[in-house]
Chain A
Amino acid sequence: MNTFKKYLGIVWIILAMAISYYFIGIFGSKLTSGKQDDLVFGIIIFFILLPLIVTGLAIFGWYALTDEYED
């Protein structure tokens, strides 16, 4: 189980990067569309959720990879 937890850390780091790529690629245009509802949504995604998920998940993955969550 410890080995599984450790190597799953790579998945979390990749997931963080994938989310980052997806958010920027798919939702990037929302900030510049000129519509108020798009702007509100874009701000929520880019300035709140994206940094939180990407940074947090990457650190979590790194900790898993370095055996911090070993039993």
Chain B
Amino acid sequence: MNSKSTKGIWKVITASSLGTMIEWYDFYIFGSLAVVLSTKFFPTDNPTAAFLSTLATFAAGFVVRPFGALFFGRLGDLIGRKYTFMVTLLIMGGATFLIGCIPSYQTIGYLAPLLVLILRLLQGLALGGEYGGAATYVAEHAPNNQKGYWTSWIQITATAGLFLSLLVILLTKGILSKEAFEEWGWRAPFWVSIFLVIISYIIRKNMDESPVFAKAKLEGKTSLNPLKESFNNRFNLKFILLALFGATMGQGVVWYTGQFYAMSFMKTVQNIDSSQVDTLLVFALLMGTPFFVLFGWLSDKIGRKSIMMTGLFLAIFLYRPIYREMYKLTDTKAMKGSGNNLVMESCKVTETPVASILTEPDKADPTLKNSRVFIVTKTDSLFSSGAVFHYTKTDTLFLAQPLAFDAKKNALNEVWLNYDTNNSSGAIVHHSVKLKNSIQQGGTPARLDTIQTGLLKQFPDAMTIHKSHEHGISAKGNISVSKNITSTVKFYLIFLVFIQVLFATMVYGPIAAFLVEMFPVKIRYTSMSLPYHVGNGIFGGLLPAISTYFVITAKNIGNPEFYLEGLWYPIGIAAVCFVIGMIYIDRKINTLHDK
């Protein structure tokens, strides 16, 4: 390849990659902000359900990606690669910007999640059309023996998009106060998208059509009906199925486990502070990204199959040890017995507990009223290693009677609540709480004037609960934890995530070239896009929702290794994919359509 043509292909790579990276950024910003979005667009009375609904909305974008692949793939094979992926870019940018403009659930109710879902579907359709176009466009510019290397630059864009999304979030959080970010700052990363899209659109506008496609079009060799030729042709359909079950399905779950599930695991299972997770993920991604190009380049030399299958094999056998190690790093129970340095030094209530009262008609009998009292207690546990775990404990007391302050009956205008709870070790703790109506007569919230509980030796893991009291009180505990980890733990976690990113680079680096070479020019856009988006989008994209559900279910039934349960899904899918890939993928397949 001479320097002129090398310069030409770099121009193609830059224009294609920039746009694709921005589309991935748009797509992933939603996932990166899943925790905060769940509190903005969904009812907050059940945080777990809200988080799972957010993950499901996130997943909906993945589910429609194959439809986008079919729709835009067909357009790409009919009118050209360049124009099609310019349209997808604009749709993606517009949808992302509008997500940042939707009022919250508190303002417009269920219209909020509905609008988010519609825009998320548009994002999914656009991405379904984008990736296949960009990969095909680059591959059709690249020499036959270097397709792996050049298309690997497109493969970087997915991770780079995720990286950029985390970086923008971290910057926004750094610039704004925590309150401002929670209030409106989370919208900024969505708004940023519109500027990025405009820049990319201008760059892409000046690009030429793919030379291979332009030649085919000139010779009248383009397809008249790409969908029919792709899926109604047994010879072609068998390759689509092989690409899906022998490559993209496994690639999808390995990619999403190493990046998204790792992030979700650290935030929601290990409860590590969100910003710390974003930071360490940024480092792991940065370290791992060059390996996309390395493995893409290597696949030109030794073949795509061997590299992809090695990545799958390593993932299948090492995921469980890796996640066990990750969990142990922040698991206080496991640490205490093993004589290491994560031993709690002190535990103290950091802020005056606050109580709020909600009185409403009884669900069973609306003529009666009852009250719920929410008591929020913030506690810090300090460890000898320097780690600080922040606990926010919300005790909900269910009162059979409506709770009202009556200054005439009670000169002090206060109410005492007494109740017992039993913690995870079975010990009964007596609580005696004084609520004082210091704000307004008969209104809420009340100031929590006094709290007396059992001696706070260490923070209770969970109030498994609860004993009815003579005053008709029952209690339910809900604890949210945010852990600030030490540098040592952080570096070790970066390494463990980096290993997972490495597996992802092995299966993902060569796959664009693998898919492009599998299908002929005239139906390439359509045919390669479908297995990619079903494998990556559906099998991979649904992973966070499915695996999180497995973890939560296992935790609820008391499985001691609940944190590993989410891995059965990626391990199972990757294992089937590995067997099919090893047996059925033939190196000769990739020389069928290399023109």
Which residues of A approach B to under 8 Å, CB–CB?
4-5, 8, 12, 15, 35-37, 40-41, 43-44, 48-49, 52, 56-57, 59-60, 63-64, 68-69, 71
Contact = CB atoms under 8 A, between A and B. Distances in A.
A63 B549 contact: no
A41 B241 contact: no
A44 B59 contact: yes
Contacts of A57: 245
Interface residues of B, number: 30
Most buried by A among B241, B539, B546: B241
A4 B542 contact: no
Contact of A44 (B234, B245, B542, B552): B542
A56 B538 contact: no
A37 B55 CA distance: 11
Given A44-B545, A44-B546, A57-B245, A68 B552 contact: no
Interface in B40-58: 46, 48-49, 52-53, 55-56
B48 A37 contact: yes
Interface string B226-249: 000000001001100110110000
A52 B234 contact: no
Contacts of B10: none
A71 B244 contact: no
Nearest to B546: A44
Given A8-B583, A64-B584, A49 B241 contact: no
What's the dominant secondary structure at chain B's contact region? helix
Contacts of A41: 52, 545-546, 549
Most buried by B among A56, A59, A71: A56
Contacts of B351: none
B63 interface: yes
Given A48-B63, A59-B241, A36 B52 contact: yes
Contacts of A63: 234, 238, 241
A36 B113 CA distance: 15
A68 B242 CA distance: 11
A56 B245 CA distance: 8
Contacts of A35: 49
The 6 closest A-B pairs by CB, nearest first: A36-B49, A40-B56, A60-B241, A37-B52, A41-B549, A68-B238
B183 interface: no
Nearest to B245: A60
18 contacts: A15-B576, A37-B52, A40-B52, A40-B53, A40-B55, A40-B545, A41-B52, A41-B545, A41-B546, A44-B56, A44-B59, A44-B542, A49-B538, A49-B539, A56-B244, A59-B237, A59-B241, A60-B242
A37 B549 contact: yes
A69 B538 CA distance: 25
Contacts of B241: 56, 59-60, 63
B375 to A, nearest CB: 25
Nearest to A60: B241
Contacts of A8: 583
Given A40-B545, A56-B245, A68-B234, 8 more contacts: A35-B49, A40-B52, A41-B52, A41-B546, A49-B539, A49-B542, A63-B238, A64-B584
Most buried by B among A8, A37, A63, A68: A37
A18 B145 CA distance: 42
A8 B246 CA distance: 14
A37 B542 CA distance: 14
A36 B583 contact: no
Nearest to B43: A36
Contacts of B63: 48
A71 to B, nearest CB: 6
A49 B573 CA distance: 11
